[in-house]
Amino acid sequence: MKKLEDYVRSIPDFPEPGIIFRDVTSILQDADGLQLAVDSLRAMVKELDYDVVVGPESRGFIFGVPVAYAEHKSFVPVRKKGKLPCETISAEYELEYGTAEIEIHKDAIRPGQKVVIVDDLIATGGTTEAIIKLVEELGGQVVKICFVMELAGLKGREKLKDYAVDSAIVYEGK
Ligand SMILES: O=P(O)(O)OC[C@H]1O[C@H](OP(=O)(O)OP(=O)(O)O)[C@H](O)[C@@H]1O
Ligand SMILES: Nc1ncnc2[nH]cnc12
């Protein structure tokens, strides 16, 4: 029986020298891999009281939507700047490689709603920190943050120390 981590392909020096890229496409292209990944995330939220799953473009969509669907929750997309058609709020953040800006619709989360954030991977934690800022600005409460993979060497969790965080696979390095 293969474990979830057996489905992850690791590519050295992509997209830049020194980065080991943890590829989710190799999880997705195998039905068992996809099921294992989504089931691992579902197990993290099974006992939880929450209203909404929030996931960032684009890999956060891949895992966030099936979790929301299977758990009968709604899904709110956080998108890269300029993609959402209605009124938005935005946050800038730094990535392991480069900077970016993300947005959420102003009416996507109502004050007091309990939010689970789902993404494929935490590296520096910059993306998640920016998502938390957006959710809280709208009055939402982040009750859990779930990842398929965590690059523990980049210490992203230190940015999230006030939150409940769970990762299916933890890589000790970068
Ligand atoms: O913890 P961080 O250092 O913020 O990095 C993690 C984020 O980086 C990747 O997304 P990316 O912005 O590359 O976009 P993509 O999903 O569209 O590939 C990944 O899917 C996470 O969202
Ligand atoms: N090392 C990495 N592998 C895959 N996705 C990433 N996003 C940021 N860092 C990454």
Cβ–ligand 1 distance for 22 under 6 Å, the answer: no
> Which pLDDT value is given to residue 95?
74
Q: Is the pLDDT of residue 149 over 80?
A: yes
**With bands split at pLDDT 50, 70 and 90, how would you rate the model's confidence at 1?**
confident
> Which pLDDT value is given to residue 8?
98
| CATH class in words for 49-171 | alpha beta
Please name the residue whose Cα sits nearest to atom 2 of ligand 2: 21
Q: Is the pLDDT of residue 96 over 80?
A: no
Q: Is the pLDDT of residue 81 over 70?
A: yes
Domain locations along the chain: 49-171
> Which pLDDT value is given to residue 63?
98
The pick from 14, 23, 28, 59 for probing ligand 1's pocket by mutation, whose C-beta has the most ligand atoms within 8 angstroms, reads 59
User: Cβ neighbours of residue 141 under 8 Å, at least 6 residues apart?
Assistant: 112, 113, 114, 115, 135
> Which pair of structure tokens corresponds to residue 47?
């006992």
Ligand 2 pocket by C-beta < 6 Å: which residues?
Answer: 19-22, 96, 121, 123, 151
Q: pTM for the complete prediction?
A: 0.97
Give the mean pLDDT of 9-27.
95
Give the mean pLDDT of 45-63.
98
Half-sphere exposure of residue 121, counting CA atoms within 13 Å on the CB side? 21
